[in-house]
Every structure is written in structure tokens, then in C-alpha cells.
Structure 1
Amino acid sequence: MKTASLTNNITYHEKRPTIQVLLETETGKEIRIAFKKDQVMKEHKTPFPIVVEIFEGKIDFGLNGTVHSLKKGDLISLEGGVPHDLTAMENSIVRLSLNKADSAKRVEDVAKNS
């Protein structure tokens, strides 16, 4: 058994979203992304399917030229290879579920380069 918390020990980076791996299992990874208001993850794509949950706050999620306003409790899933971007409309906590074969470093690189 493994445990983690989406709300404990949150660190907000001043210039970019903060990425933290919370759990890693045989099949996937659970990552917390902490956004300060107005922080962005520029358009990017993942090689594998993902699920994004807005745990706290509001995120504008850009997908195929359309912005989806997501709020606390909303979920969105994407197949691999789909370009998307995120903009925090307020301080937000996002839970990202990754395939085991995907890399948390890839997510960190997206945040650093945004």
C-alpha cells in the first residue's frame, strides 16, 4: 500500500508550475501540479493517454483551438499525441495521471519551458 496527499507540503514556484510525483505504481504515476494564478504550461503533448483532474482552482485547458474552462472537481482525458495547454485562472492544484511508461521529467520539462 502507498499513500499520498494532494494538499500536504504544497510548494508554489514563483515563475512556473511546480511538479511533484505523489505516487508511482505498477501501471501509472500520480502527479500534482501546483499553479499560481496566471501560470501557464505551453502547448505540449504526451505520448500516452492522460487524465487531468482539477482538484482546486480553475484552469483554462486549451485543446484543438478551443478553451475549456475547468473548475474544481472536473476531469478531462486525452489520448496520446493530442496538443494541449493549461493556464491557471487562480491558484490551482491539478492531479495528472500518467501511464507508467511516461516520464515525470517530461512534465517537469514542459513546466520549465513554459
Structure 2
Amino acid sequence: MNEFKVQAIFNDSYSKEIQILMPKGSMMQEHSAPAPIIVQVLKGEIDFIIDNKANNLKEFDCIRVKANIAHSLIAKDNSIIRLSLFKNDTFSRVCSVKIKQ
């Protein structure tokens, strides 16, 4: 895996599910969501940073984040992430987060 990629998995009447591929060393810079989110690592390992505190997440670990909480992600290994959004959040918002590779 050598490039960052975001793709929609499905969109139903309750939520939106997104898959994020993060190569080792890449970073989603600090951002927030307008509604609560759930992030689950399906493969790999990331540091999920809130208030300058790293929450290390490995395969199958997940974290729920309240609305409007600033956070960033750093891939410690090539990682596949499942992002669950509330219906009122947008795929385009996720795609607009600045990435460092």
C-alpha cells in the first residue's frame, strides 16, 4: 500500500460507512466532525490523537468521538480503517481532510 485512499462502502438511511487506506507514516491532519464518529482499525495500527494524547489502536480496536472534537490520525503501519458517520455528515468532508505522506 503506497497511497492514501478514501472510499465510500455504503450509505443507508441511518449512517455512512467509509474505508480509509493509510500507508505507514501517513497522517490525517487535525480536523473534527459535525456529529459523532466511530473509527475502527480493520488492519494495521494507528495513533488516534485527541488533545495531544495518542490513543494507540491496533487491529479491531475502535474509538468513538463526540461531535466537534479535534483529532488526527497517524498510521504506524499500513492500515485499513472503517469510519462510521452519522447521516448528516458528508463523504466530501472526509475527503477534504489534509493528508501528509
TM-score by length of 2: 0.94
Is there any run of 5+ residues in structure 2 with no aligned partner, and where? none
Aligned length: 99
Of 35, 55, 60 in structure 1, the residue corresponding to residue 42 of structure 2 is 55
Name 1:65's counterpart in structure 2: 52
* RMSD of aligned alpha carbons: 1.0
Q: Which structure carries more relative contact order (alpha carbon 8 Å, separation 6+)? A: 2
Answer yes or no: is 1:25 the counterpart of 2:8.
no
Answer yes or no: is 1:36 the counterpart of 2:20.
no
Of 44, 67, 70 in structure 2, the residue corresponding to residue 83 of structure 1 is 70
**Greater fraction of residues in strand:** 2
Aligned-pair distance for 1:48?
Answer: 0.3
Letter in 1 for 2:32: K
Is there any run of 5+ residues in structure 1 with no aligned partner, and where? 1-11
Larger radius of gyration: 1
Matched-pair identity in %: 37
Letter in 2 for 1:53: Q
Aligned structure 1 segments of 4 or more residues deviating by more than 6 angstroms: none
Aligned-pair distance for 1:64?
Answer: 1.3
